[in-house]
């Protein structure tokens, strides 16, 4: 079974600084996708960024970028120029289509990010 591990329960960053959230995963599949979701206090799940395993190039979305190391099964999220609105719980997630599961997601336990003014 696939597993996702986030080893940092909490992180903090100063406003305008850069922070990196860590995620590792385990899978025997070769074709899969990785995601970072943000869950603010409203509890709404918001997709931040997505990475296809077959792509060597790291995904970027404005201030958010990932460092995808396929051999090491590592998928970290870098937030640049942190803003107060970035404060949230961040979840790393994995999905594949094995067994016709249509990319049901496996989530890590989350990292609570605090942004200090």
Residues that bind another protein (CB under 8 A): 4, 33, 42-47, 50, 91, 93, 95, 97, 99-110
For another protein, which is the closer residue by CB, 51 or 82? Answer: 51
For another protein, which is the closer residue by CB, 53 or 78? Answer: 53
For another protein, which is the closer residue by CB, 68 or 91? Answer: 91
Whole-angstrom distance, CA of residue 51 vs CA of residue 68? 8
Whole-angstrom distance, CA of residue 63 vs CA of residue 51? 15
Whole-angstrom distance, CA of residue 113 vs CA of residue 39? 10
Q: How far is the CB of 69 from another protein (least distance, A)?
A: 21
CB atoms under 10 Å from CB of 91, counted, come to: 22
Q: How far is the CB of 28 from another protein (least distance, A)?
A: 17
Q: How far is the CB of 2 from another protein (least distance, A)?
A: 10
Q: What are phi and psi of 49, to 5 degrees?
A: -160, 150
């Amino acid at each position: 079974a696939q597993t996702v591990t986030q080893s940092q329960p909490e992180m903090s960053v100063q406003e305008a600084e850069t922070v990196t959230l860590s995620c590792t995963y385990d899978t025997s599949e070769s074709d899969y996708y990785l995601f970072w979701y943000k869950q603010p206090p409203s509890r709404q799940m918001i997709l931040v960024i997505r990475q296809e395993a077959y792509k060597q190039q790291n995904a970027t979305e404005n201030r958010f970028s990932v460092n995808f190391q396929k051999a090491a099964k590592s998928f970290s999220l870098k937030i640049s120029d942190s803003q107060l609105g970035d404060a949230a719980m961040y979840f790393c997630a994995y999905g594949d289509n094995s067994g016709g599961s249509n990319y049901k997601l496996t989530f890590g336990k989350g990292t609570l990010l605090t942004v200090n003014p």
